[in-house]
C-alpha cells in the first residue's frame, strides 16, 4: 500500500481533491489519435479543454492507453484530478456540452485518489469490425474495414485459437517499438456477426503496439491463403514481424472496454 | 414525342453515343452539396472527374435533383452521355476505383438517349433518420438527427397523415425560393423503426426546397407540443413559412430512391 499513502500524502494539502474517472466514446476519424500532437488535433487535448472549461482548472487527463489516428473507442477510460464540487452525475452532460459531436463522455465515476486509468487496469477488450461486400458502404468507410472478397470466418475463428494464452507476441508488434517485455496474455478471442459485419474481439491483460491490427491482418491473410493452425503457431514462434501478415487498417479498430 | 425526335436528331452524328444512368450512394458530410460550388467541393464535380478519368472524355453528369450540404443519398440517380464502349456492367467498379470512399456508384444502366434523370422522374422517396437518446452516439453524429427527449411516434404518425395528398405546400418551402408552382403531391409518409432509429419516409412527385426538412421539423414540434391534426391543417392552409416548424438538420436526410 506504499504508493497509496504516498499519493494521499502528496495531495493532502488539497482538501477537496477528487479523482474522476470518465468513460469515453469517440469516432477517431477526425483526430490524430489520443495523444496531444504537434501536428493535428489529439482527442486528449479536446477533452482536456472541455473539462477545463467546466471546472475552471487546468486539467490533465490520463487514459488507459493511447489510440492511434483513425482508431475509435466505445469505452476508453481516463481519469483527472479536480477540486471542483460538480456532482458526479452532472459531469457527462456538462463536459459533453463543450465537446464536438464525435466525442462523448458516457459515464463518470468518483474513484479513490490512487485509482489510475492505466496502471490499475486489469484487462482491455478491443474489437475489430470487418464487412465483406462487393461495393463498399459509403456510410461505413471510416468505421468498418470493408473487404471485396468472401472471408471464411470459420477458418478465421479456428486459426485465432492459436493466439489465446500467454505468449511472446513479438512477431505481432510494430517493429521499432520499445517495451520491457513482449510477453502478453490474450484471454479470449471471439467472433460475432450482425448486419453483415463481423466483429473479432480480443481481451487481454495488455497489447503491444499495433498488436490487434497485426493479428487481424495475419488471420485474414491466413484464411485467404487457407493456412493451418500450425502455420499460425510458426509465425508466433518466429518472433519476427516479417513473418506475420499486414497491419489491418486503423479505422476497423475500437477500444471497447477497460476492466479494473 | 417531339422532344425525343429532336434529341435523337441532335445526337445522330455520334454513332456510338450512349446515355448511361448511374445510381449513386454518398455520405454528404464532407461535401458542399451535390452541385459544383465556387466554395467547397460538390459531389457532382467529384463524380464527373471520376467518370472522365475512365472514359477519357469531358463529362457532364445530370442528377434527379440537387442535395444540400450534409444531405446524404442511398440512391441518387444521374445520367451522362458517352462515346465510350466500356461494358455497362463494368462502369460501377471502374468509376468507384476513381472515387473517394464516401461516394459509391451502385449500379449503371444503359438508357435510351431521351432518358433524363430529372425530367423523366415519376416520383422520389426521401427518408429522415431520427434517434432519441440521452447521450448522442458519436458514430452517428453526421448521419442521424439525435434528440435528447422522447418523441411520441404515434402522434407524429397521426399528424403526418394531414400531408398526404395534393396540396399547396408553400408553408413548407424555404422562403425566397423561386418556383412556378408550390403545389406538390405526397403519395405516402411512413414511419419505420430499427436499432432505436426511427425513419420517416416521404414519397412524392416532387418536393420544394427544404420541404422534407421543414415537414420533419413541424411534425416533431407538433408532437412535442401535443398539437392536433387540425393545427397541422391550419399550418398547411396558411401557406406561410412562419407558421410551420423549424427546418430539421440536413444530416438526418437521405435521398432514398428515384422512380421512373
The tens digit of pLDDT for each residue in A142-154 reads 999 999 889 999 9
Which residues are paired to A128 by β-bridges? A200, A253
Question: Residue A176's pLDDT band (boundaries 50, 70, 90)?
Answer: confident
A104/B contact by beta carbon, under 8 A: yes
Provide ipTM, 2 decimals.
0.88
Average pLDDT over residues B99-121: 97
pLDDT of residue A15: 55
A136/B contact by beta carbon, under 8 A: yes
Active-site annotation holds for A68: yes
What does the alpha-carbon distance between residue B28 and residue A247 come to, in Å, rounded to a whole number? 29
Helices (H), chain A: 2-11, 43-55, 91-96, 153-160, 211-224, 229-238
User: With an 8 Å Cβ cutoff, are A141 and B102 in contact?
Assistant: yes
User: Which of A179 and A125 is assigned the larger pLDDT?
Assistant: A125
Backbone phi, psi, residue A219, to 5°: -65, -40
Q: Which run of H or of E encompasses B3?
A: helix B2-11
**Best mutation target, B25, B139, B197, B253, to test chain A (most A CBs within 10 A):** B139
Average pLDDT over residues B77-91: 96
Q: What is the mean pLDDT of chain A?
A: 93
What does the alpha-carbon distance between residue A27 and residue A92 come to, in Å, rounded to a whole number? 17
pLDDT of residue B12: 46
Average pLDDT over residues A30-35: 94
Chain B residues in contact with A27 by the CB 8 A cut-off are: 138-139, 141
Residue A1: pLDDT above 70? no
What does the alpha-carbon distance between residue B163 and residue B165 come to, in Å, rounded to a whole number? 6
Which among B27, B102, B138 is the nearest to A102, CB-wise?
Answer: B138
- Give the pLDDT confidence of A99-137 residue by residue, as tens digits: 999 999 999 999 999 999 999 999 999 999 999 988 999
Helices (H), B20-60: 43-55
- Do strands A253-259 and A72-82 pair parallel, antiparallel, or not at all (unpaired)? parallel
A103/B contact by beta carbon, under 8 A: yes
In three-state secondary structure terms, A260 is coil
What does the alpha-carbon distance between residue A237 and residue A243 come to, in Å, rounded to a whole number? 10
Task: Identify the top-confidence range among A165-179, A217-231, B165-179.
Answer: A217-231
Question: Residue B51's pLDDT band (boundaries 50, 70, 90)?
Answer: very high
pLDDT of residue B15: 55
Average pLDDT over residues A237-259: 97
Nearest CA in chain A to B92: A135
Q: What is the mean pLDDT of chain B?
A: 93
**Considering Cα of B69, then B73, then B76, then B80, what sign does the dihedral take?**
positive
B26/A contact by beta carbon, under 8 A: yes
- Check if the beta carbon of residue B164 is closer than 8 Å to that of residue B190: no
pLDDT of residue A5: 43
How far A200 CA sits from the closest chain B CA (Å)?
A: 19
Nearest to B78 by CA among B106, B41, B40, B57: B106
Domain A2-111 shares a fold with domain A123-259 = yes
Chain B residues in contact with A103 by the CB 8 A cut-off are: 138
Q: Give Cα separations from B176 to B35, B102, B171 (angstroms).
A: 19, 32, 12
CB atoms within 10 A of CB B109: 15
What does the alpha-carbon distance between residue B145 and residue B199 come to, in Å, rounded to a whole number? 10
What does the alpha-carbon distance between residue A67 and residue A26 come to, in Å, rounded to a whole number? 11
Average pLDDT over residues B73-96: 96
CATH architecture of the region A2-111: 2-Layer Sandwich (3.30)
pLDDT of residue A177: 80
- Give the pLDDT confidence of A66-103 residue by residue, as tens digits: 999 999 999 999 999 999 999 999 999 999 999 999 99
CA angle (A157 as vertex; A153, A162 as ends), nearest 5: 145
Q: What percent of chain B has pLDDT over 70?
A: 94
B137/A contact by beta carbon, under 8 A: yes
Average pLDDT over residues B122-143: 96
Which among B96, B103, B138 is the nearest to A104, CB-wise?
Answer: B138
Nearest CA in chain B to A138: B102
CATH 3.30.70.660 fits A123-259, yes or no: yes
What does the alpha-carbon distance between residue B53 and residue A168 come to, in Å, rounded to a whole number? 49
Half-sphere exposure of B237 (CA within 13 A, CB side): 7
Residue B247: pLDDT above 70? yes
Residue B99: pLDDT above 50? yes
Domain assignments of chain A as residue spans, ordered by start: 2-111, 123-259
pLDDT of residue B38: 79
What does the alpha-carbon distance between residue B250 and residue B254 come to, in Å, rounded to a whole number? 9
In three-state secondary structure terms, A180 is coil
- Do strands A145-147 and A253-259 pair parallel, antiparallel, or not at all (unpaired)? unpaired
Which residues are paired to B204 by β-bridges? B124, B186
User: Which of B9 and B101 is assigned the larger pLDDT?
Assistant: B101
Name the A residues in 190-229 with CB < 8 Å from any B CB.
Answer: none
Average pLDDT over residues B172-180: 88
Amino acid at each position: 500500500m506504499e504508493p497509496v499513502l504516498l499519493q494521499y500524502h502528496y495531495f493532502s494539502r488539497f482538501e477537496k481533491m477528487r479523482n474522476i474517472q470518465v468513460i469515453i466514446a469517440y469516432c477517431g476519424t477526425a483526430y490524430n489519435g489520443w495523444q496531444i500532437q504537434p501536428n493535428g488535433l489529439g482527442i486528449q487535448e479536446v477533452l482536456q479543454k472541455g473539462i477545463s472549461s467546466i471546472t475552471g482548472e487546468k486539467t490533465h487527463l490520463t487514459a488507459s492507453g493511447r489510440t492511434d489516428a483513425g482508431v475509435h473507442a466505445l469505452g476508453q477510460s481516463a481519469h483527472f484530478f479536480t477540486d471542483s464540487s460538480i456532482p458526479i452525475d452532472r459531469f457527462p452532460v456538462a463536459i459533453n456540452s463543450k465537446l464536438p459531436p464525435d466525442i462523448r463522455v458516457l459515464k463518470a465515476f468518483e474513484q479513490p485518489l490512487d485509482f489510475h486509468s492505466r496502471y490499475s487496469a486489469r484487462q482491455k477488450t478491443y474489437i475489430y469490425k470487418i464487412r465483406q461486400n462487393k461495393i463498399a458502404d459509403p456510410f461505413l468507410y471510416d468505421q468498418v474495414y470493408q473487404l471485396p472478397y468472401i472471408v471464411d470466418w470459420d477458418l478465421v475463428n479456428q486459426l485465432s485459437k492459436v493466439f489465446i494464452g500467454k505468449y511472446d507476441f513479438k512477431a505481432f508488434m510494430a517493429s521499432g517499438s520499445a517495451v520491457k517485455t513482449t510477453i502478453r496474455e490474450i484471454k479470449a478471442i471471439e467472433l460475432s456477426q450482425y448486419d453483415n459485419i463481423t466483429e473479432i474481439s480480443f481481451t487481454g491483460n495488455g497489447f503491444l503496439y499495433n498488436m490487434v491490427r497485426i493479428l487481424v491482418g495475419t488471420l485474414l491473410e491466413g484464411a485467404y491463403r487457407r493456412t493451418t493452425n500450425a502455420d499460425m503457431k510458426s509465425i508466433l514462434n518466429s518472433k519476427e514481424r516479417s513473418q506475420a501478415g499486414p497491419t489491418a487498417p486503423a479505422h476497423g479498430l475500437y477500444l471497447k472496454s477497460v476492466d479494473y
